[in-house]
Structure 1
Amino acid sequence: MPHTPARAVYPGTFDPLTPGHLDIVDRARHLFDHVTVLVAVNAGKQPSQPTATRATRIAQQIPAGWTNVSVTAWHGLTADYCHRHACRVIVRGVRNTTDYQHEHDLATTNEALGITTLLLPARPQLAATSSTAARGGPFIRFIH
């Protein structure tokens, strides 16, 4: 029986990419054959740069050794991207119970669309950082 690669997407606005985001990508890349960091548009947020610009910047921040990670800009539903690119899992990080409730609601919707969501809890030392907070102060690069 041939091996079907397990592909996942990690969607977000990533404005900016934080050490917590990179930690989720690092953990996900060990669970899946390929992880796409999906730099998306969120109508509820006003990003500081266009999606394509953020995607280029994020791709430059992914360590060279992470060969099973790619970065793509996307305008549309994450589930649509998943169906078009044979990604069966959406990876999401959760920092607290508020995140969990929001992500649980999205996961229920995506499950109805045929896509499973894997929620990864933030490591305690990274849970207090958000992109919103990071935009207000200096950015510290994740070192692995």
Structure 2
Amino acid sequence: MAVYPGTFDPFTSGHRDLVARARVMFDRVIVLLAVNADKQPTSEATARAGRVREAMPAAWGNVEVDTSTGLTTAYCLRRGATVIVRGVRTAADFRYEYQLAAMNERLGMQTIWVPSRPHLAATSSTVARAYRSAQPAGPSLNAEK
């Protein structure tokens, strides 16, 4: 079982693509909305979790959505996960993710990185939030069903 953690504010087409790819690599994938006190999301975790669930096709029966506070590794160990899945878009992402992976490994959890597809690499939650606030009636960068 794999855990794909993030704040998913919002859940983008890049996030959805990573879940689609992870779900064929692992028997089960938990999309974990990590509640991070250092971040100020635009909505509560339960609302974001609901939107993530809505973005998942019904046929993806091996994908679960959950929320958690605290360390992701503690959640993973408690749930019996074997790996954390993280997306990487850029070299800067990789540097940051490498540090997280090193810490997670010391805490007993392996991390694998899945590179973003080139056409999705420019999409991030930060960009999607900025676009949404600048274009209130425009098309969405959020995950399509």
**What is the aligned partner in structure 1 of residue 134 from structure 2?**
none
Partner of residue 100 from structure 1, selected from 94, 101, 104: 94
CA distance in 2 between counterparts of 1:28 and 1:41 reads 22
Runs of 4+ in 1 over 4 A off after TM superposition: 141-144
**Which of residues 75, 82, 92 is equivalent to 2:76?**
82
CA RMSD across the alignment = 1.3
- Counterpart CA distance in 2 for 1:36 and 1:90 is 10
How many residues in Structure 1 have an aligned counterpart in Structure 2?
A: 138
In structure 1, C-alpha distance between the alignment counterparts of 2:62 and 2:52, rounded to whole Å: 15
The match for 2:15 is 21
Cα 1:48–1:141 change in 2 (3 A) is: closer
- Paired residues of 1:89 and 1:115 also in contact (CA < 8 A): yes
Tell whether 2:73 aligns with 1:113: no
Q: CA deviation at 1:53?
A: 1.2
Scaled by the length of structure 1, the TM-score of the pair is: 0.91
Identity value in percent: 53
Give 5+ residue unaligned stretches, structure 1: 1-6
What SS is found at the alignment partner of 1:90?
strand
Alpha-carbon distance between aligned partners in 2 of 1:15 and 1:62, rounded to the nearest angstrom? 16
**Richer in helix (by share):** 2
One-letter code aligned to 1:134: A
- Whether the 8 Å contact between 1:18 and 1:139 is mirrored in structure 2 is no
Q: Secondary structure at the match of 2:25?
A: coil
* 5+ residue gaps, structure 2: 132-138
Structure 1 residue 136, shift from structure 2 partner: 2.2
Give the partner amino acid of 1:71. V
Contact 1:94–1:119, Cα closer than 8 Å, also in 2: yes
Equivalent-residue separation in structure 1 for 2:110 and 2:96 (angstroms): 15
